[in-house]
Amino acid sequence: MRVIDFFINEEHEGDTVLQYLKRSGFSAREIRRVKFRGDGICVNQERTNVRAVLHSGDVLAVCLDETEEQPEKILPWPGPLEVLYLDEDLIAVNKPSGMAIHPSHGHYADTLLNRVTAYLMECGESTGLHVIGRLDKETSGVVVFARNQLAAAGIGRQKQQKAAGFASGTEKEYLAWVCGSPEDSEGTVNAPIGSDPDTLQWMRVCPEGKPAVTHYEVLQCRGGFSLLHLRLETGRTHQIRVHMAYIGYPLAGDRHYGCASNSDGSGFTHAALHAERIFLTHPITGVPLDIHAPLPEEWSYLPLS
């Protein structure tokens, strides 16, 4: 069981419990589950119903049964795991390159979700996980999982705020090695991205695509390659890989959008992209989080470094 306390302020004076829970991200299904559970909803330590009116200074307590929130049965896959952040609502880990995030055809147990599930089981923790954002299989770096539906809904709202242009939304920052040296030390790529008509697996810049904006800054140049810091305003599939190739500086090691031969001389065997940092507001506590993922070990001994 997980009890979440909400402290009612003047802004929500006069709201019913139902109104407040809906504004806090509870779905109709979740509200039905808690309101029929013993002590599922309490105000000032007394059980109440969803029609009760809230007042400034009240403490609304909601009891969640996390065992009911398993989205699907995930097989545990024990193995090394670098945990960057962990609490009752979130877990963030540093994904290695070459690992898929969630099970799919051909990858039923050897994914990051399977490994995080095994880790939580070994710790005696609940394992109902919801993936928050995704990285390509080749990309390393920060991946966040919500540990209950309420946290997942809260992160979802932040992503919507980000898409709508509000500063409070989640934001990721990346590092990438690219082929060549951009003329300007910083710049922005604003070019729509859509599916390649020849295959749904790959993307391309095209007029009919969805809006996509990537900001980049050159950190250093070495041996015909450049290390970039990148920030996204949108989150399109393969956005960084597509945009960098579009302006003539494909990611080092990128076999599809970059060098078509077996090697571009960088030493990378996959696209050199790392999700270095994520900024978000904790979906339950409201505390700002800045989660940083150290660079992959391989970046320290490649010819570029």
Sheet strands (E) in 147-237:
171-179, 186-190, 193-196, 199-205, 213-222, 225-232
Active site annotation includes 110? no
157: nearest Cα among 170, 145, 146, 147: 170
**Do 203 and 236 contact (CB within 8 A), yes or no?**
yes
Give burial (CB, 10 Å; 0-12/13-18/19+) of 248: exposed
Catalytic, out of 58, 136, 254, 264: 136
282: nearest Cα among 25, 16, 2: 25
88: nearest Cα among 188, 213, 4: 4
How remote is the C-alpha of 62 from its chain's centroid? 26
Phi, psi at 123, each rounded to 5°: -85, 0
Active site residues: 136
